[in-house]
C-alpha cells in the first residue's frame, strides 16, 4: 500500500492529500515564502467551505491532516482557536465567498512572477509556448492596497469574474491562480512561473523579442487548454516522487 492509498477518518481526505502534495512541491521548487503564502481548495458545492494551510506553518511541513477546514461565511472564524492567517482569510475567504468558480486558489510570491508584477508594464507577451499559454488569460491588478486583509481581498475577488482569466498578476505583490482542483491550479501556477522566467530572462538580454501573432498565440493557448490529462499527470508524478521518498505529506 502506498502512502496515498491510506485513508484516515478525516473528511475530504483525497482533496487534502492532493493539496498537501502541492505545498511540498512548491517548497521544493523554491516558489514558497517561508511561513507566508497560501493555497486553498473548496470542498462543497457553492465553494464557501474550503481547506487551507495553517497559520505560519512552513510549506515543507504541511500534511493532509493539518490543513484547516474553514467556512467563508462564518463571521467568527478569526476569533476561534487555530484561526488562519488574517491575510489568508482576507484573500482566500473573499474569493471563495464571491467567486464560486474558483475551486482551488494558489497565491505565491515566486521570484519571476513577482519580478513581472513589479514592472511598470506587467503584461506577459507570447514569446514562446509557455508564455502563449496565458495569452488573454490573465488580469493585471494595478491597484495594490497593502496587505490582503478583507477589503483588499474583496477587491481582488472582484477582478476574477471573467471565467477565461485564471491568473491574476498582482501588481507590486505576486501572483494568484485559480483552478478546478489542486492539479489544475498547480499546473497553471508552475507554468506561469516558468513563463515569467523565460520573459524576464529574455528582457535581460536587451535584444528585441520575437513576439507571436495574436492568432498563433490564441491557437497555442487553446491547444494547450484542450491537451488531455497533463495537469493530472503532473500531480500524479509529484505524488509518486514524494511517496518513493517516504514523504509525510499524505499523513
Question: Each residue of 39-82: pLDDT tens digit?
Answer: 999 999 999 999 999 999 999 999 999 999 999 999 999 999 99
Contact 210, 127 (CB under 8 A): yes
Q: Which residues contact 115 (CB under 8 A, 6 or more apart)?
A: 196, 200
Write down the pTM of the prediction.
0.94
Nearest to 202 by CA among 131, 120, 114, 111: 131
* Per-residue pLDDT tens over the stretch 135-147: 999 999 998 877 7
How confident is the model over 124-181, as pLDDT tens digits? Answer: 999 999 999 999 999 999 988 777 667 888 889 999 999 999 999 999 999 999 999 9
Nearest to 26 by CA among 199, 186, 226: 186
Q: Could you tell me the domains of the chain? A: 3-244 (3.40.225.10)
List phi, psi (to 5°) of 166. -115, 10
Burial of 129 (0-12, 13-18, 19+ CB in 10 A): middle
Over residues 25-32, the mean pLDDT reads: 98
Amino acid at each position: 500500500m502506498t502512502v496515498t492509498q491510506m485513508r484516515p477518518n478525516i473528511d475530504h481526505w483525497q482533496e487534502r492529500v492532493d493539496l498537501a502534495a502541492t505545498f511540498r512541491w512548491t517548497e521544493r521548487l523554491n516558489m514558497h515564502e517561508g511561513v507566508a503564502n497560501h493555497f486553498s481548495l473548496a470542498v462543497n458545492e457553492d465553494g464557501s467551505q474550503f481547506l487551507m494551510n495553517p497559520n505560519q506553518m512552513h510549506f515543507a511541513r504541511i500534511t493532509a491532516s493539518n490543513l484547516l477546514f474553514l467556512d467563508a461565511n462564518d463571521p467568527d472564524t478569526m476569533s476561534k482557536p487555530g484561526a488562519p492567517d488574517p491575510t489568508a482569510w482576507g484573500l482566500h475567504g473573499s474569493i471563495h465567498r464571491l467567486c464560486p468558480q474558483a475551486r482551488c486558489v494558489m497565491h505565491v510570491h515566486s521570484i519571476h512572477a513577482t519580478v513581472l508584477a513589479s514592472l511598470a508594464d506587467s503584461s506577459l507577451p507570447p514569446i514562446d509556448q509557455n508564455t502563449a499559454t496565458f495569452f488573454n488569460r490573465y488580469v493585471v491588478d494595478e491597484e495594490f492596497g497593502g496587505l490582503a486583509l478583507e477589503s483588499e481581498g474583496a477587491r481582488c475577488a472582484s477582478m476574477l469574474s471573467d471565467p477565461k482569466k485564471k491568473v491574476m498578476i498582482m501588481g507590486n505583490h505576486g501572483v494568484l491562480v485559480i483552478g478546478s482542483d489542486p492539479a489544475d491550479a498547480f499546473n497553471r501556477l508552475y507554468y506561469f512561473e516558468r513563463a515569467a522566467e523565460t520573459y524576464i530572462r529574455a528582457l535581460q538580454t536587451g535584444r528585441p523579442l520575437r513576439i507571436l501573432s495574436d492568432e498563433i498565440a490564441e491557437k497555442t493557448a487553446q491547444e494547450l487548454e484542450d491537451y488531455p490529462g497533463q495537469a493530472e499527470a503532473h500531480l500524479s508524478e509529484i505524488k509518486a516522487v514524494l511517496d518513493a521518498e517516504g514523504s509525510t505529506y499524505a499523513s
